[in-house]
Amino acid sequence: MLIEEPDRSRSHAGRFHSTHWENVLAARDVDDPRAGAALAEHCRTYWYPLYAFARRKGSTPEQAEDLTQGFFCDGLARDFLRSVDPARGRFRTFLLAAFAHYLGHQRARENRVKRGDRVVIDSLEGGGAEARYLREPAHIETAERLFVRRWALTVLDHALYRLERRMIGQGKAPLFDRLKPALLGTEDAVGYAQVGEELGLTEGAVKVAAHRMRARLGALIRAEVAQTLGDPSQIDDEIRDLFSALGS
């Protein structure tokens, strides 16, 4: 299966962490000293998927940017996370429903966030959100499907980053770099024999390494998914949704 490689153009420092329910609960409690950092984490993770959702719903680039920005700013002001309950299931489902409600409410009021009144969240995409959106597959027809695809790619990116850090810690960064295309099923993947020749390894050793990397990546994906759910029994269903979205 050919999977789009996630956008890795910016540093992961302080950015790529899962939407862990502990952080969600911290973000909704204004008295919790972790609240500000936790909310900023959610904004970083979900800013672009929500922007893409708004664009696919018919907003102009400027409107989508303002609506996404306003959603998080208003969420902070109105404590929209207070209604989050891990027992209800997926955080992404809650967030998308809240954003869809916000879009309808804002359009009904014809009330847009004033450009120039933005906070730091706006700088996360560096003006590149629309460029990313224009690269989205045209065959993804609905805004909901596009949001789920972006969520899936974010989860994959988190897991890949953790695997990369692990391989770097083991002194195997070149091996990770050469085998990552094969993990993603991208067109620039090369054969095990060629990788072995380049890195001074046997073909068999490369095959074993690739098998271990796939197994580790699978475990990391499962761990990432588990951190976004309130009910562990939903993990398998969520993972099926993830791979379905990546294959669309």
For 97-126, write each residue's pLDDT tens digit.
888 988 988 877 754 445 544 444 444 455
Q: Would you list the domain boundaries of the chain?
A: 21-246
85: left (phi over 0), alpha (psi -120 to 50) or beta: beta
Whether residue 5 has pLDDT greater than 60? no
pLDDT beyond 90 at 179: yes
Highest mean pLDDT among 36-50, 72-86, 135-149: 135-149
Contact 92, 151 (CB under 8 A): yes
Which has more pLDDT, 8 or 190? 190
| Cα–Cα distance measured from residue 26 to residue 9, given in angstroms and rounded to the nearest whole number | 29
Structure tokens at 196: 């072995």
Residue 18: which pLDDT band, with cuts at 50, 70 and 90? Answer: very low
Q: Are 122 and 69 within 8 A, CB to CB?
A: yes
Query: Would you tell me how many other CB atoms lie within 10 Å of the CB of residue 32?
Result: 13
Q: Is 23 exposed, middle or buried (0-12, 13-18, 19+ CB in 10 A)?
A: buried
CB 46 within 8 A of CB 124: no
> Which residues are within 8 A (CB) of 68 and not within 5 positions of it... i.e. 6 or more apart?
47, 50, 51, 54
Q: What is the mean pLDDT of the chain?
A: 79
| pLDDT for residue 233 | 86
Instruction: Please name the amino acid found at residue 227.
Output: Q
Q: What is the pLDDT of residue 72?
A: 78
Whether the per-residue pLDDT at 40 is higher than 50: the answer is: yes
Q: Which of the four pLDDT bands, split at 50, 70 and 90, describes residue 4? A: low
Question: What pLDDT, in 10s, does the model give residues 193-225?
Answer: 999 999 999 999 999 999 999 999 999 999 888
How much of the chain exceeds pLDDT 70, in percent?
Answer: 69
Residue 242 pLDDT: 84
Min mean pLDDT across 35-44, 54-63, 139-148 is at 35-44
* Higher-scoring residue by pLDDT: 91, 77: 91
- Reported pTM: 0.72
- Alpha carbons within 13 angstroms on the beta-carbon side of residue 65 total 22
The pLDDT of residue 158 = 87
d(CA 113, CA 70): 6
Q: Is the pLDDT of residue 245 over 90?
A: no
More confident residue, 238 or 229: 238
- Among 99, 49, 97, 37, smallest CA distance to 70 is for 99
For residue 25, which amino acid is it? L
Task: Tell whether the model's pLDDT for residue 96 goes beyond 80.
Answer: yes
Which pLDDT belongs to residue 116? 46
